[in-house]
Structure 1
């Protein structure tokens, strides 16, 4: 069995797309996945399976909860590579963000640069957009326009969350 990391986008945010983690764990277990663990309410899942979670999981969430979230699934090796290739300070847990991309991006670098504040730094490596935002991302124009500039769906996690997920994969 392989270990997979599932990153759901846009669940349990602002009172919309409510998906309790206990229900998500049960749904995944009922679909044949083992050692299902979640971290915080924003849709971070570590599990083991014979095959990669996919379309059937999304259909069941839609049938049971009335919405279809976006889900990015990473194998443990792919997740570890994303962590390894992080170009920013590993101690900067709240300011460094990983945006996992659904597909290889076709970035509009000129727009990305125009939207970035003078303190924001970013790099794209494969299907990961790395962002260092020392002033936070709450009002970031770059974050607000990110998907449009990259041309692909993305879901972001800060380095603190990434480190916790990495710890959970090591424990799995």
Structure 2
């Protein structure tokens, strides 16, 4: 059996169904060690480990989100936590959040009255949702919402 390391789950699943139909496969999230339930993880996640038992005709794959590098030893890792973006510019927060696994970042000024320009991401982040320190397990694939300084550059209303 060839190595599937570095390929995404959708590719591996399709190839296995086509080329090794007699094999039973299982997929394990290396971020928490739980077996893949078919709904909690994305098909874009990357295979990091592969274990085959040709006599039992089984194969197990360990996988991680594409933003998380595969651990060299293939062991279970911990989910990253949501960083504290408060005090950074909206642009800095947005770039870091997209790399971490937030597919969308929204930004709104604290004070919207008289607000007419589109420079949200150039302003300083005042608050964020989800808050810093929470596990990305609950927030991977969700939107990060930022509230930024008003047009005078202040986080107070």
TM-score interval (norm. to shorter):
under 0.3
| Greater per-residue helix proportion | 1
Which one scores higher on RCO, CA 8 angstroms, separation ≥ 6?
1
TM-score by length of 2: 0.26
**Bigger Cα Rg:** 2
